[in-house]
Amino acid sequence: MRGKNFAHGGKYGAQLGQALTPGHLSQTAPTIAGQTYLLSFWFRNPINTFGATPNEFVVQWEGTTLFDQTDLPFNNWTNLQFIVTAANSGSLLNFGFRDDPYFLSLDDVSLKPMTIPHLLKVVSRPAAFTFTFQTVPGSIYQAQCKTNLAQPSWVNLDDPVTATNNELMVTDPGVAGFPQKFYRLMVVGP
Same domain, 48 and 104: yes
Total domains present in the chain: 2
Q: Are 91 and 22 in contact (CB under 8 A)?
A: no
Give the number of other Cβ atoms within 10 Å of residue 127's Cβ: 11
> What are 144-160's pLDDT values in tens digits?
989 989 888 899 988 99
* pLDDT at residue 78 is higher than 50: yes
Same domain, 56 and 127: no
CATH of the domain at 72: 2.60.120.260
> What are 1-48's pLDDT values in tens digits?
444 567 888 888 888 887 788 888 999 999 999 988 889 899 888 866
Question: 180 lies in which domain range?
Answer: 118-189
Tell me if 7 is assigned to some domain.
Answer: no
Same domain, 26 and 62: yes
Q: Are 171 and 127 in contact (CB under 8 A)?
A: no
**pTM reported for the whole predicted model:** 0.65
Tell me if 3 is assigned to some domain.
Answer: no
Q: Are 29 and 90 in contact (CB under 8 A)?
A: yes
Tell me if 2 is assigned to some domain.
Answer: no
> What are 94-153's pLDDT values in tens digits?
999 888 778 888 889 999 887 778 888 999 887 888 999 988 888 888 999 899 898 888
Region of residue 138 (phi > 0: left; psi between -120 and 50: alpha; otherwise: beta): left
Residue 145 to residue 181: CA distance in whole angstroms: 7
